[in-house]
Amino acid sequence: MLLNVKNEVLLRLYLVSAGVVLASFVIWGRMYQLSVTQADRWEAKADSLYVKWVDVHADRGNILADDGSLLATSLPFFDIHFDAKAEGLTDEVFEANVDSLAFLLSTYVDQQYTPGKYKEWLDSLRMADIRTRGIRYVPIAKDVPYNKALIIKNFPLFRLGRYKGGLIIEQKPKRERPFKMLAQRTIGYTREGALPVGLEGSFDNILGGSLGKQLMLRVPGDVYIPINDLAEIEPKAGSDVVTTLDINIQDVAENALMKACQTHDADHGCVVVMEVKTGAIRAMANIGRTPEGWWETYNYAVGERVEPGSMFKLASFMAMLEDGYIDDFEEKIPVYGGKVKIYDEELIDAEPHGMDTMNIWQVFAKSSNVGTATMVQKYYGKGKAANFVDQIREFGLDLPTNIELGGEDAPIIKNPVDPKSEWSGTTLPWMSIGYELLITPLQLLTFYNAVANDGRMMKPYIVQRIEQYGETEKEFKPTVIKRNIASKNTILKAQELLKKVVESGTAHNIRTDNYSIAGKTGTAQLNYHKFKAQAGIRHQAGFCGFFPADNPVYSCIVVISEPQKGGYHGSEVAAPVFRTISDKCFAMKAALHAPINAGPKPKQKTNMLPSYEAGTKKELAASLKWLGIDAYEGNGSEETAAQKNNEWAVLKAENDSLLVLNRFVNDKTLPSVIGMGLKDAIYLVENRGCRVRVEGVGKVRAQSLSPGTHCGKNSICVLRLE
């Protein structure tokens, strides 16, 4: 019985021992598998929980104006943190530096805390229980500029670096616009969770460069801190975008538009200035009313399709010119006193004039809706409406500009052969005066610019090149959309009509004698129904044209929506803005002035020549040569044969010529010094033993002692200068 019990116990013991040995082999085998055969896999998994790669954004490229002025740039700002568990930070090092560090933090970082308070706070960070919990990312300062970050980096303890001093510096660049609101919407922005806008959005890939990579360590609190100060994979800096914007014209355009919007209490407005020959945008301003005040909230010039009103009449007249329906601008046509009925709708002129007939040029210059619509209806109304629309398309008015900025839609031009266009019997006459179609200000300006450019339509562009560290990577050159939008005769006639508007038409108020302007006013009703009067009618004022009219350099469009004060017509609201811009451009830009030597050399007027200026022959000859004034040797009352070799001379103007006459200077008597500079006059008078007293400034115009006087010892000659 005892033997059986013993055997059973031994059996159980052997079984347990075998189980333990087997379990040991399984555990050791698993440990070998984890630590050797699957080591890479599990180490990577462990690292993924505590270490990860984080994208490092590159330095964003700049956006520059035409002259290199910064429109948008990235400035370095820094967040400063303290790693209270840095590997090399010992208690001895901490104690040796904490007092000085606390004083400097209180002085330069945050003065609301005393040095004592800072020291107490820093001491708490190094306490064993707090450090055990892993406070490794303590904020010291945020959004610190570069110069201040350099100062903090050299503070006691922090100057020891990342591992011994616990200093963590993270760069977070901020996008800045040195000119603030200037061209703000054109420059645009990129924001997380929002659609990209403007040049920042359109050229984001170029400006943004390529991402780098940095290894970050996860610390308690689900915070990641950089393991190294430098990125393991360096980002590639973004390239610079150089625009065509002229900073001076942009400033003038924005200020003029802002003043007009404020003066007329408008809702919003826009201005675009384009270089005629190239299509380069020199200014693009957009102003809108917001609850916070006036701001660039939307690019109306590119993105807002509107009914252009009377500014579209240029296209209507050009269509009739192209098809040969009109030619003689002196021809009179009926305007019915400024009121006519077309089908069941009444059409009236914007301003009553009471005239029954007008010359064709008067219809355009005085912007007669009745005259324009009845002419177009007469020539295209009987089954020929498609011909009119075809001409509009030939002018390129159905095309988007495809400018580098986003948000542009194609124009909407109704087509009588398209059932979806909702064409009606009154569409043609109303389209002829700028209604029942939609077009953006920039698209309309492109058409006017083509007229100014003798028919050649240029693509508007606002970026001229991409640069990297000053070296050009890509260049954008002027692009021709259409070589001729119309015949040469039509273009010349159109230019003539546009000049008439300013000379004696609706824009006569902006005429100037300094240079010529050509353009067209436009006044559109925004909530009209075939011009039926409605309560609270809203208007849009516009002016589009170019200058100087005889040799255009710039074209410009001004559109101001919903003016409430001081009038609402294009001539009252928009045209003065155009004039302000053109005046400033004329004053600033030499290209707008005809070269002085372009024509024949003008004859010199006697009163404009330097008559009775005296001095040495050598100096007078050098001065006249530098001034480019021709002078001739002459005989005069002051000259005798014996005096021809004298070194002094006087200039005398006769008719349109300048004569150089010898002036005799005697060694013994007082000479005439009239017309001389003070230096020469004193030299001659004092060498004759006479003292000099001077009154006034300039050239000698009178002397108290007559020429030929023998000077005594106490003689004084008073020289009066003017």
pTM, two decimals, is 0.73
**Average pLDDT rounded to a whole number, residues 23-50:** 66
Q: What is the pLDDT of residues 300-357, one digit of tens each?
A: 999 999 999 999 999 999 999 999 999 899 999 998 888 888 887 888 887 777 788 8
pLDDT of residue 132: 42
Residues 482 and 399 sit within 8 Å (Cβ to Cβ):
no
Confidence of residue 228 (pLDDT cuts 50, 70, 90): low
Indicate whether 127 pLDDT > 70.
no
Confidence of residue 601 (pLDDT cuts 50, 70, 90): low
pLDDT of residue 183: 84
Indicate whether 49 pLDDT > 90.
no
Give the helix/strand (H/E) hosting 80. strand 77-82
CATH no. of 250-592: 3.40.710.10
**Average pLDDT rounded to a whole number, residues 423-430:** 90
pLDDT of residue 321: 95
Confidence of residue 133 (pLDDT cuts 50, 70, 90): very low
Specify the range with the lowest mean pLDDT, choosing from 342-356, 391-405, 564-578: 342-356
Got the DSSP string for 487-542?
A: -HHHHHHHHHHHHHHHHHSTTGGG--SSS--EEEEEEEESS-STT---TT--EEEE
Distance separating alpha carbons of residues 155 and 94, to the nearest angstrom = 13
Residues whose CB is less than 8 angstroms from the CB of residue 287 and which lie 6 or more positions away in sequence, other chains included: 254, 257, 258, 261, 268, 269, 270, 294, 295, 296
Integer-rounded Cα radius of gyration of the chain: 42
Indicate whether 222 pLDDT > 60.
no
pLDDT of residue 130: 43
pLDDT of residue 211: 66
Percent pLDDT > 90 in the chain is 38
**Average pLDDT rounded to a whole number, residues 594-614:** 64
**Average pLDDT rounded to a whole number, residues 516-526:** 93
pLDDT of residue 214: 60
Indicate whether 58 pLDDT > 80.
no
pLDDT of residue 52: 63
Confidence of residue 129 (pLDDT cuts 50, 70, 90): very low
Indicate whether 721 pLDDT > 90.
no
pLDDT of residue 354: 78
Domain ranges of the chain: 45-76+174-217+230-241, 77-172, 250-592, 606-721
pLDDT of residue 108: 86
Top mean-pLDDT range of 12-16, 45-49, 84-88, 476-480: 476-480
**Average pLDDT rounded to a whole number, residues 467-495:** 93
Residue 161 has which token pair? Answer: 């670096």
Please give the residue that has the higher pLDDT: either 453 or 661.
Answer: 453
Percent pLDDT > 70 in the chain is 84
pLDDT of residue 180: 81
Computed over every residue of the chain, the mean pLDDT equals 83
pLDDT of residue 697: 84
Indicate whether 533 pLDDT > 50.
no
Nearest Cα neighbor of 84 from 129, 24, 37, 17 is 129
Give me the amino acid identity at 409: D
pLDDT of residue 678: 83
Nearest Cα neighbor of 450 from 390, 395, 525 is 395
Confidence of residue 169 (pLDDT cuts 50, 70, 90): confident
Residues whose CB is less than 8 angstroms from the CB of residue 212 and which lie 6 or more positions away in sequence, other chains included: 55, 56, 57, 58, 231, 232, 233, 234, 235, 236
Give me the amino acid identity at 115: P
pLDDT of residue 530: 46
Residues whose CB is less than 8 angstroms from the CB of residue 275 and which lie 6 or more positions away in sequence, other chains included: 244, 281, 282, 553, 554
Q: CATH 3.90.1310.10: does it fit domain 45-76+174-217+230-241?
A: yes
